[in-house]
Amino acid sequence: MFPLDVNQVLEKKDAIEAALHLEQDEMVDDEQENFVPEYLNTLVTGVCDNKAVLDEKIENHLRKGWRFERLAKIDVIILRIGLYEMLYVEDVPNKVALNEAVELAKTFSDEQSRKFINGILSTVNTKIEAS
């Protein structure tokens, strides 16, 4: 997903291959040399197709004085993934999506970003549960 943000010309397929590159050995199917897990394809496609809606949700939950452009790219990507799962993936409970996003932030971001991501997704989850 990060390559899609950094280089808009990059194709979805290239983004999936880039995402798989780190753990490619674990995701190779015996029958297919370049096996792409179905859920990863669904996730990348869904986030790309709903990017404008997801970004608007993120912007709507920023504190006064903060701009979307000011956010770290990796934090935006993690937020998009979490929001996409919360809003569009019925098989993933919202709290699971939130917790997985926080785990991604622990791995790929810093403590401040983890708290930020948790705060935004928790607020969205509260609004979803209230509606």
pTM: 0.75
Does residue 24 surpass a pLDDT of 60?
A: no
Residues 125 and 73 in one domain: yes
Q: Considering the domain boundaries, does residue 42 fall inside one?
A: no
Res 99: pLDDT: 97
Both 54 and 112 in one domain: the answer is yes
96 with 124, same domain: the answer is yes
| Overall average pLDDT of the 2-9 stretch | 50
Residue 10, number of CB atoms within 10 A of its CB:
15
Residue range 98-122: mean pLDDT, rounded: 96
Average pLDDT, the chain: 83
Residue 16 shares a structural domain with residue 56: no
Q: What whole-number distance in Å separates Cα of residue 41 and Cα of residue 131?
A: 29
Count of structural domains, the chain? 2
Question: 74: domain range?
Answer: 50-130
**Count of CA atoms in the C-beta half-sphere (13 A) of 97:** 23
Residue 44 in any domain: the answer is no
Whether residue 89 is predicted with pLDDT greater than 80 in this model: the reply is yes
Residue 43 lies in a domain: no
- Give the percent of the chain with pLDDT over 70: 73
- Residues 122 and 58 reside in one and the same domain: yes
Give the pLDDT of residue 68.
92
Residue 40, pLDDT score: 87
Residues 69 and 100 in one domain: yes
Same structural domain, 92 and 124: yes
Q: Which tens digits make up the pLDDT trace of 50-87?
A: 999 999 999 999 988 889 999 999 999 999 999 999 99
Q: Are residues 29 and 70 in the same domain?
A: no
In a domain, 65, yes or no: yes
Q: Check whether residue 57 and residue 33 sit in a common domain.
A: no
